[in-house]
């Protein structure tokens, strides 16, 4: 019986001896001479308890996240989105939870309104941006000012501003690039595919609809105008290289302000001469219940076909002026408004008086031909400067890019 216990006893004594030696050297190495002198060998029970505690401490627990997860969390980008179009794309790609702040024009989707706002995306401050501790700043083409962008980049933030064409091709390019930067490539590709499919559907539906008016004898083309501001100096309209221009081009409508580049003031005479069939107004400029009726009676619009029939339609500025993934929704609104004008023209055509009468000159084919000829001969008398209603340079307004 004693022989069977002897190996275990010897083994235990060896362990106790080794621990005693290690403890002495530890005390000497730590300068603890007194601790070494007063050291007493631990009991077998205390050694076993210590070994048990050490073993338990090395076992991972379910509540402790793996190191890889901690690393991934630390690498999640902190994004500042500047410009409504950029913000909307990021959220559409499922990365809204990475956004730590946006600008004041980023109001869609609803979740974007719940994050901190840094002001107008053209006038961001370095301090305001860096206070959010971002790792990535994505901005629409007018994001600035330039010194802010440079200072933020020098602080180690990855800065990218999108200078793309204001049409569906530019929108697609921006979606794909943002998708790459936020690790959502597949979603970006799918979003672009869906976008083009939706636009194709709208084009086909509009083409089929206007074809039904071919027998009316009245030209089935539509002259359109997009108003973005109205003040004492005149109306500011969307010209070439803008989202409204892209909407009109996609449906084959004529933008009567296409001679202008960007957002410019247009004089009343030019508006009257080019006689828009439909007028669109940016939603942010309309205030009060009678805002649309007031625009119908505006001295530059009242005598036009759009003014006489009050064919003025308000459009959400985020889709009417910005490169939004909801481009097809904006396109549908433009198409429906254009078709409404065509239906009025078709209904009025049989009621026309003889071609020599004044009413025919005002409402018939003679007037239409004269207007089309005047467009080619008469450039728009444009004005430039500061539009006080928006407090931005009218040569490059870009409020919702």
Q: For residue 240, is it within any domain?
A: yes
Helix ranges restricted to H, 234-303: 243-251, 268-274, 291-296
φ, ψ at 61 (rounded to 5°): -105, 160
Give me the pLDDT at residue 231, please.
80
Q: Report the relative pairing of strands 234-238 and 223-231 from DSSP bridges.
A: antiparallel
Listed in sequence order, the residues at least 6 apart from 245 whose beta carbon sits closer than 8 Å to its beta carbon are: 166, 167, 238, 239, 255, 258
- CATH number of residue 232's parent domain: 3.40.50.1980
Backbone angles phi, psi at 161, to 5 degrees: -110, 135
Same domain, 203 and 280: yes
Q: Tell me which residue of 247, 246, 249, 245 sits closest to 258, measured CA to CA.
A: 245
Same domain? 146 vs 230: no
- Residue 209 and residue 148 share a domain: no
Number of domains in the chain: 2
Burial class (CB in 10 A: 0-12, 13-18, 19+), 289: exposed
Q: Does residue 340 belong to any structural domain of this protein? A: yes
Rounded Cα distance between 347 and 341, Å, is 10
> Does residue 363 have a pLDDT over 80?
no
Same domain, 109 and 257: no
What is d(CA 147, CA 207) in angstroms, rounded to the nearest whole number?
47
pLDDT tier, 275 (very low <50, low <70, confident <90, very high otherwise):
very high
Based on the fold, state whether residues 198 and 320 are members of the same structural domain. Answer: yes
Instruction: Please identify, among 163, 184, 212, the residue that sits at the C-terminal boundary of a domain.
Output: 163
- pLDDT-derived band at 117 (thresholds 50, 70, 90) equals very high
Helix/strand/coil for 384: coil
Give the DSSP per-residue string, 68-113: HHHHHHHHS--EEEESHHHHHHHHHTT-GGGEEEE-TT---SGGGG
Segment 8-22, tens digit of pLDDT: 444 545 545 555 545
Determine the Cα–Cα distance for residues 379 and 377; give it in Å rounded to an integer.
Answer: 7
Domain that holds residue 265: 194-396
Q: What is the pLDDT of residues 53-88, one digit of tens each?
A: 434 433 333 333 333 333 344 478 999 999 999 999
Confidence band for 213, pLDDT divided at 50, 70 and 90 = confident
Residue 385 predicted with pLDDT over 70: no
Q: State yes or no: pLDDT of 261 exceeds 90.
A: yes
Is it the case that residue 388 has pLDDT exceeding 60? no
- pLDDT per position as a tens digit, 300-330: 999 999 999 999 999 999 999 999 999 999 9
Question: Is the pLDDT at 266 greater than 90, yes or no?
Answer: yes
pLDDT of residue 284: 85
pTM beyond 0.85? no
Torsion, Cα 101 104 108 109, to 10 degrees, reads: 30
pLDDT tens for residues 140-189?
A: 999 999 999 999 999 999 999 999 999 999 999 999 999 999 999 999 99
pLDDT-derived band of residue 276, with 50, 70 and 90 as boundaries? very high
Q: Are residues 309 and 390 in the same domain?
A: yes
Q: How far apart are the first and last CA of the chain?
A: 91
């Amino acid at each position: 019986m004693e022989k069977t216990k002897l190996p275990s006893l010897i083994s235990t004594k060896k362990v106790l001896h080794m621990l005693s030696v290690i403890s002495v050297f530890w005390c000497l190495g730590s300068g603890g001479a007194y601790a070494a002198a007063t050291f007493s060998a631990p009991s077998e029970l205390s050694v076993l308890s210590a070994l048990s505690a050490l073993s338990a401490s090395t076992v991972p627990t379910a509540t402790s996240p793996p190191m890889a997860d901690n690393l991934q969390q630390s690498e999640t980008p902190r994004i500042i989105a500047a410009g409504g179009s950029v913000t909307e794309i990021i959220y559409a790609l499922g990365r809204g939870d990475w956004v730590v702040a946006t600008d004041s024009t980023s109001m869609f989707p609803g979740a974007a309104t719940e994050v901190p706002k840094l002001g107008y995306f053209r006038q961001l401050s370095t301090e305001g941006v860096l206070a959010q501790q971002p790792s990535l700043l994505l901005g629409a083409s007018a994001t600035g000012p330039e010194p802010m962008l440079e200072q933020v980049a020098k602080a180690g933030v990855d800065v990218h501003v999108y200078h793309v064409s204001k049409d569906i091709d530019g929108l697609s390019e921006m979606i794909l690039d943002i998708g790459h930067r936020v690790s959502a490539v597949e979603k970006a590709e799918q979003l672009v595919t869906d976008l083009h499919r939706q636009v194709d559907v709208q084009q086909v539906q509009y083409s089929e609809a206007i074809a039904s008016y071919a027998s009316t004898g009245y030209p089935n083309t539509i002259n359109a105008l997009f108003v973005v501001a109205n003040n004492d100096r005149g109306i500011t309209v969307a010209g070439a290289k803008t989202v409204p221009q892209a909407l009109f081009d996609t449906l084959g409508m004529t933008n009567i302000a296409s001679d202008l580049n960007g957002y410019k003031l247009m004089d009343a005479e030019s508006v009257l001469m080019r006689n828009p069939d439909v007028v669109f107004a940016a939603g942010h400029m309309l205030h009060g219940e009678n805002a649309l009726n007031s625009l119908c009676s505006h001295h530059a619009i009242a005598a036009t076909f759009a003014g006489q029939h009050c064919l003025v339609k308000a459009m959400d500025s985020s889709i009417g002026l910005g490169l939004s993934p909801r481009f097809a929704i904006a396109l549908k609104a433009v198409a429906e408004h254009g078709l409404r004008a065509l239906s009025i023209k078709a209904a009025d055509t049989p009621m026309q008086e003889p071609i020599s009468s004044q009413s025919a000159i005002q409402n018939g084919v003679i007037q239409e031909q004269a207007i089309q000829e005047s467009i080619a001969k008469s450039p728009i008398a444009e004005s430039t400067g500061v539009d006080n209603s928006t407090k931005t340079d009218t040569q490059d307004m870009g409020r919702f890019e």
